[in-house]
Chains A and B, each alone.
Chain A
C-alpha cells in the first residue's frame, strides 16, 4: 500500500499569510494526488485534483504542485474562512490512502 506522509500536522498562521502544506508518497504516484478541506462537523470539499488542477469554484489563492513523491498545497493569502483541516489523497492505486491531515489554526 502507498503511505502518504503529510506535514506539518498543525500550523498556526495569520490572515494574509502564505502557507504551504506538504505530502510525501512512499512511492511514485505520478500526479495522482488530490487535496481536500474539511471544516468542523462538515464533509470534506475537494480543492485540487491531479496535483495541480483547481476544482471549479475554489478561489485562485489555492494552488497545488508536485509529481512523483512530493506534493504541496499553497494558500497564497490566508482568509478567515481558510482555517480548517486539510488532507491529501493519492488516487494512483488501491487502496486509496489519505495523509494524516494538517490543522490550520489562527495565530
Chain B
C-alpha cells in the first residue's frame, strides 16, 4: 500500500535552513506529482508546493516563493522541501502528499513538525 514517511523536522533558528524529506513506497513514484502541505498549530491546512512527476514543473504558494524549493529524485523515491530563511510563521506540521491522475492529493504522510524559534 502507499506509504509516505516525512523526516527532517525540528527546531530551526530564523534565517537558517532546513531540508525536509519524504520517502515514498507502495506505488510507482516516478509516475505521480507530489505536494507539500502544512498546518500551523491549531490552524487549517495550507498548500505549499507541488512538483510534477518528472520534476519539470514546480509551483509554490506566494508565502514561500523564493524561500522554499521542492525537488525529487525518482531513482531514490524521495521528495524534498528545502526551507531557507524560515520565519516564525513557517512553524507547522509539514505533510507530503501524492497526487492522483486528476492532480489532487490522495495519500498523505503522517507529517513532520518544524518549529522556527531562536
CB distance from B76 to the nearest CB of A (A): 22
CB distance from B6 to the nearest CB of A (A): 10
Q: Total A-B residue pairs with C-beta atoms closer than 8 Å?
A: 54
Using a CB-CB cutoff of 8 Å, which residues 40-92 of chain A contact chain B?
Answer: 42-46, 49-50, 55, 87, 89, 91
Residue A18 interfacial (CB < 8 Å): no
Residue B95 interfacial (CB < 8 Å): yes
**In the bound complex, do residue A1 and residue B62 qualify as a contact, i.e. CB atoms below 8 Å apart?**
yes
CB distance from B101 to the nearest CB of A (A): 10
Which single residue of chain B is at the shortest CB-CB distance from A55? Answer: B106
Pick the contact of A49 from B104, B108, B109 — CB < 8 Å? Answer: B104
Which single residue of chain A is at the shortest CB-CB distance from B47? Answer: A96
Residue B17 interfacial (CB < 8 Å): no
Interface size on A, residues (CB 8 A): 23
**In the bound complex, do residue B45 and residue A95 qualify as a contact, i.e. CB atoms below 8 Å apart?**
no
**In the bound complex, do residue B47 and residue A87 qualify as a contact, i.e. CB atoms below 8 Å apart?**
no
Give every chain B residue within 8 A of A89 (Cβ-Cβ).
45, 47, 104-105
CB distance from B23 to the nearest CB of A (A): 15
CB distance from B59 to the nearest CB of A (A): 4
Chain A residues with CB under 8 Å of chain B are 1, 34, 36, 38, 42-46, 49-50, 55, 87, 89, 91, 94-101
Chain B residues with CB under 8 Å of chain A are 35, 37, 44-47, 50, 59-62, 95, 100, 102-106, 108-111
